[in-house]
Structure 1
Amino acid sequence: MRRAGVVRLREIDTPELSRIAGELPGGNGGLSGGGVEKLLRAAVVEIGGGSLQTAAEYTLGLAQGTRDWPPADRRRRAAQVYGVSVERFRKHHEVMVLGQVAEQVVGLAARVPADIGGAAVARLPAAHREIPLYLHGRAVTVTVHVHSVDLLRDVDVVVSPSNTYFALPAAYKSSVSATLRRAGASKDPTGGVVEDHVHDELRGWAARHGAPGRAAMPGTVVATSSGALAEQGVRRIYHVAVAVPRPETNDYDVQPVDVTRGVARAFALLAEESRAGDRPLTSICLPLLGAGRGGLPPLESFGALWTAVEAELARGADWDVHFVVRRHARADLIERLLTQRDGRTNP
Structure 2
Amino acid sequence: MSRTDQADHATLVEEVRVVRRAGLLRLRELRLPALQALAEARAGEAARGRHPVEAMLREAVSALGGGSLQSAAEYTFGLTPGTRDWAPADRRSRAAQEYGVSVERFRKHHEVVIFGEVVDGLLGAAQEPAGLPLPVPAARPGDPRPGVRRRAARPDVPPSHRTLRVRVAGRHRAVVLHVHCVSLLRDVDAVVSPVNTHFVLPAAYKSSVAAMLRQAAARLSPSGDVLADPVHDELVRWTADRGLDGRAARPGTVAVTGTGALAGQGVRLLLHAAVAVPRRGTNDYDVHPDDVTRAVTQVFACLAEERPRHQPPLRSVALPLLGAGRGGLAPGESLRALWAAVEAETARDPRWAVHLVVRDHDNADLVERMLTGHVSPPPTALPRPGASW
Same fold (TM over 0.5): yes
Question: 1:339 matched to which residue of 2?
Answer: 372
Question: 2:196 matched to which residue of 1?
Answer: 163
Taking only the aligned residue pairs, the percentage that are identical comes to 60
Question: 1:315 matched to which residue of 2?
Answer: 348
Distance 2:285 2:198 in 1: 12
Question: 1:129 matched to which residue of 2?
Answer: 162
Cα distance, 1:137 vs structure 2: 2.7
**Other structure's SS at 2:201 match:** coil
1:147-190 deviation per Cα after TM superposition (whole angstroms, max 9, x unaligned): 00000000000000000000000010000000000000000100
**Other structure's SS at 1:210 match:** coil
Which of 197, 207, 215 matches 2:240?
Answer: 207
- 2:224 equivalent to 1:194: no
Q: Counterparts in 2 of 1:2-41, with a 5 A limit?
A: none
- 2:225 equivalent to 1:178: no
**Other structure's SS at 1:212 match:** coil
Cα distance, 1:313 vs structure 2: 1.9
Moved over 6 A (4+): none
Cα distance, 1:315 vs structure 2: 1.9
Which of 303, 306, 329 matches 1:270?
Answer: 303
Question: 2:9 matched to which residue of 1?
Answer: none
Name the count of aligned residue pairs: 221
Q: Counterparts in 2 of 1:1-347, with a 5 A limit?
A: 122-340=155-373
Which is greater in Rg? 2
**Other structure's SS at 1:269 match:** helix
Distance 1:139 1:307 in 2: 16
Distance 1:313 1:167 in 2: 30
Q: Which amino acid aligns with 1:155?
A: V
Q: CA RMSD in A?
A: 1.3
Distance 1:200 1:144 in 2: 30
Q: Which amino acid aligns with 2:370?
A: L
Question: 1:28 matched to which residue of 2?
Answer: none
Cα distance, 1:141 vs structure 2: 0.2
Distance 2:325 2:272 in 1: 15
Distance 2:213 2:339 in 1: 22
Cα distance, 1:122 vs structure 2: 4.9
Distance 1:251 1:145 in 2: 27
**Other structure's SS at 1:264 match:** helix
Residues 1:122 and 1:300: Cα distance change in structure 2 (over 3 Å): closer
Cα distance, 1:232 vs structure 2: 0.4
1:63-102 deviation per Cα after TM superposition (whole angstroms, max 9, x unaligned): xxxxxxxxxxxxxxxxxxxxxxxxxxxxxxxxxxxxxxxx
Distance 2:309 2:214 in 1: 25
Distance 1:128 1:338 in 2: 16
Q: TM-score, normalization: structure 1?
A: 0.62
1:185-226 deviation per Cα after TM superposition (whole angstroms, max 9, x unaligned): 000100000000110000010111111111000000000001
Give the unaligned 5+ runs of structure 1: 1-120, 342-347
1:230-264 deviation per Cα after TM superposition (whole angstroms, max 9, x unaligned): 00001110000000001121011100000000000
Deviating more after overlay: 174-183 vs 268-277:
268-277
Cα distance, 1:275 vs structure 2: 2.1
